[in-house]
Every structure is written in C-alpha cells, then in structure tokens.
C-alpha cells in the first residue's frame, strides 16, 4: 500500500489532487501538508510542514512511512516577479530538499517516488509555439520559468546520478473552479469567470490575441496520477513530459462568456511582467 505526502496541498493543484488520491488510496494513506492552518483541510490527515525545513519534511516522511511525495509548493509566475529572490528560494530549495531526502532514503533501502510539477513557463520566445516538441529550446523570461528549467535539470541529475525516481509534467495553464487564482500568467482564465459572476468588467493583463495552452483540472490530475502509477521502466523522460489540452486567447474566452452573460465586459491592460 502506498503512503502519499502532498506538500503544497492547499494550492490550486494540491487541493484537488488530495481528493483524487484519497479516492484512490483511502484517507488514511494520504497526508496533506502545507503551511496553512489545519482548519483549511477539514477531515483530511494534515501535517503543518514547510518544504524549506528539510528536517521537518524528513521526519514527516519517516513517521508516516511515506512512499510517494508530490512536491507542489511554489510561488508562481506573477507572484514570483514581485519577489524573485523569495520565489527562487522556495521553488529551487524546496525541490532540492525533497530530492536529497529521496536520495538518502534510496541509499538506506527506503525508496521514495517523487512528483514535481514543471510548467510551460520553462519555454520562451524561441520555443516553437505550435506542436511544441518534447525536446525544445527553453529560454524562459521569468524567475518562475527559470526555476522550472533549472528544476528539470535537477530532476534529470538526481535520476541519472543517484537513481531517484522523480517524475514531472510541464503543465499548461490549468482551469479550475474550486480554488481561486494563484498568481500564474494563465490564471486570467480563472479570474475572468469570477469577475463575470460578480458583474464586473475584467481588466485583463494580457493582450486580446495572446493565445496560451490550457488544460482542465480533472485532465491534469488524471495525467499526474497516471504518470506516478506507471512502472519506473516505462518512464523515459526524467525532465518533464509535455501535456496538452486546448488553446485560446482572452478575446475568444470573453466572447464565449458573453454568450451566457451578454453584459460582461473586458478591458485589456497588457503587463510585460506577465
């Protein structure tokens, strides 16, 4: 039986991933970890763990006999541009702590399977925008994207050097309704619906024709769990797998919303920091 630790469980992905894992493995075998108060997690098994505290993370893993870790704690693209040093520290040191713990446990006969999310933010202006190949130019322009590119290299290194079973997906923008926008560039596709429901004009920080790839949350969760459930010998990419859903731009999304809420309005205030 797997014992699973989800770090960053109160985030957009973590919140719904925990529910899906509980449905698959049972509530006793899934531990939600975050720095938020216990009250946010209801009846879930919860541990107040900061991923930057490697001793606390290692103790939690040992105490529960954890066999899989999902390391989701991060500062996303928009937030990261406001506090780049904090974003780099959390995004990189958090991953490094988990990889080191996995290395040490593997050497002591207690292997740990690790999932860490990468992102399309690792790509950049010279990456092919259509039918992006698995191996493509990566020239990210944000601290978040740079941390994802560096994180992919770390994952490859810990697999090839130490045999750490780490797996990753380059998520596109994730569309969900259960969690509020979390500070990512593609989060406009979530915030726009909240504004429409409130009867407000949505001030979009992207241009009307900025087309970005997206995926619906249930599809992202399914891809994540299927990757983690795959036998190790079937996982051939140890940086991060591309996944795709659909692509659209703010104008197209606004037009679709207006079919249901004709009074909805949108303004465009492009921000280069996005």
Give me the active site residues, please: 144
The 3-state DSSP class for residue 38 equals: helix
**Residue positions counted in the chain:** 274
The span from the CA of 71 to the CA of 73, in Å, is: 6
Torsions phi, psi for 238 (to 5 deg):
-110, 10
The 3 state secondary structure assigned to 52-77 is CCHHHHHHHHHHHCCCEEEECCCCCH
Helix, strand, coil content of the chain in percent (nearest 5): 45, 15, 40
The DSSP secondary structure of 218-267, one letter per residue, reads HHHHHHHHHHHHS-GGG---SS-EE---EEE-HHHHHHHHHTT-TT--EE
The 3-state DSSP class for residue 158 equals: helix
List of residues 6+ apart from 91 with CB closer than 8 A: 74, 75, 80, 144, 147, 148, 151
């Amino acid at each position: 039986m797997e014992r699973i630790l989800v770090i960053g469980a109160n985030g957009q992905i973590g919140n719904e991933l925990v529910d899906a894992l509980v449905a698959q493995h049972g509530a006793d075998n899934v531990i939600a970890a975050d720095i938020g108060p216990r009250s946010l997690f209801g009846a879930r098994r919860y541990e107040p763990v900061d991923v930057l505290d490697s001793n606390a993370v290692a103790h939690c893993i040992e105490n529960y006999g954890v066999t899989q870790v999902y390391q989701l704690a991060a500062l996303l693209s928009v937030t990261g541009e406001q506090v780049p040093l904090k974003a780099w520290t959390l995004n990189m040191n958090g991953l490094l702590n988990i990889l080191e713990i996995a290395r040490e446990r593997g050497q002591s006969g207690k292997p740990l399977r690790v999932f860490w999310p990468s992102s399309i933010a690792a790509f950049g202006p010279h990456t092919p925008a259509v039918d992006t190949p698995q191996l493509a130019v990566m020239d990210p322009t944000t601290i978040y994207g740079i941390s994802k590119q560096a994180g992919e290299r770390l994952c490859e290194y810990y697999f090839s050097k130490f045999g750490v079973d780490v797996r990753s997906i380059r998520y596109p923008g994730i569309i969900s309704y259960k969690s509020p926008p979390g500070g990512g560039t593609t989060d406009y596709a979530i915030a726009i619906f909240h504004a429409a429901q409130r009867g407000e004009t949505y001030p979009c920080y992207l241009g009307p024709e900025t087309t970005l790839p997206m995926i619906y949350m249930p599809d992202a969760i399914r891809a994540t769990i299927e990757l983690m459930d795959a036998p190790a010998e079937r996982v051939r990419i140890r940086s991060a797998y591309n996944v795709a859903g659909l692509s659209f731009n703010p104008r197209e999304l606004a037009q679709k919303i207006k079919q249901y809420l004709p009074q909805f309005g949108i303004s465009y205030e492009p921000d280069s920091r996005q």
